[in-house]
Amino acid sequence: MRMCLTADVGGYYTGAIGAGRDQFGKKGDFITSPEISQVFGELIGIWFVAEWMSQGRPRSGVELIEVGPGRGTLMDDVLRTIRNFKDMASAIDAVYMVEASKELRVAQKSLLCGEDAAMRESKEGWHSTCKYSDLPIVWSDSIKAIPHNAAKTPFIVAHEFFDALPIHAFQVVESALALDQYIVSDAAVAGNGRLAHP
Ligand SMILES: C[S@@+](CC[C@H](N)C(=O)[O-])C[C@H]1O[C@@H](n2cnc3c(N)ncnc32)[C@H](O)[C@@H]1O
């Protein structure tokens, strides 16, 4: 699945889709909530503020992390909303964007930092600065690259991301038992996947 979606050559999110086509939006292959209305991201922004309040309103050390950010629309709406809550806005140390696709990292950088903003590379990832403030935004292609620091307060959001991972599906059957299912290849019909119980 990772090969199909994000392989260096031929990945759906990494260039294989071809010029003139788009994954997202009305003219693309599918649409997601942040792309339908800015209200979705604004509500997630308010949810972040509520979570920050429930954590005792830390005055610094807050990190916002998004995994699989697509066009960056959700984080853009979140950051624009949080700007209105000055105490929380000033508590954010950095935004981390975990994105496997180089093409989408560039699209996200253009939206969040501006078309002309530079991206500086380090061993952590790629760095730029938010267009709304001087907040650092850091891209990485894996969540493992985000520095661990017990003194920080990270908030993580992932929207329409887990369906991009090869995880198990579960089916609730009459006996109320949840059956774990796998996608397997049917040897008799090469290339056809089918669901199977272990
Ligand atoms: C279905 S899109 C969702 C985009 C966005 N969250 C939205 O709701 O519009 C999945 C996103 O996850 C990214 N992605 C897929 N596999 C990934 C992986 N293994 N690590 C990081 N990002 C990944 C894709 O490049 C894309 O940005």
pLDDT digits (tens, 9 = 90+) for 144-168: 999 999 999 999 999 999 888 877 6
> Is 110 close to ligand 1, i.e. is its CB under 6 Å away?
no
Domain co-membership, 146 together with 191 = no
Domain co-membership, 190 together with 151 = no
- Total domain count for the chain? 2
Domain co-membership, 56 together with 136 = yes
Domain co-membership, 181 together with 160 = no
Q: Which tokens is 128 given?
A: 């730029």
- In the reported structure, the alpha carbon of residue 108 is separated from the centroid of ligand 1 by a whole-number distance in angstroms of 12
Domain co-membership, 108 together with 177 = no
Residues in CB range of 173: below 8 A, 6 or more apart: 179
Domain co-membership, 61 together with 80 = yes
Domain co-membership, 197 together with 124 = no
Ligand 1 atom closest to the CA of 98, numbered from 1: 21
Give residue 191's pLDDT: 47
pTM, rounded to two decimals: 0.85
The residue among 188 and 150 whose pLDDT is bigger is: 150
Q: How far is CA 99 from CA 54, 105, 109, 125, 167, in A?
A: 28, 6, 11, 10, 18
Domain co-membership, 94 together with 172 = no
Mode of pairing for the β-strands spanning 169-172 and 126-129:
unpaired
> Is 69 close to ligand 1, i.e. is its CB under 6 Å away?
yes
Domain hosting residue 76, numbered range: 2-164
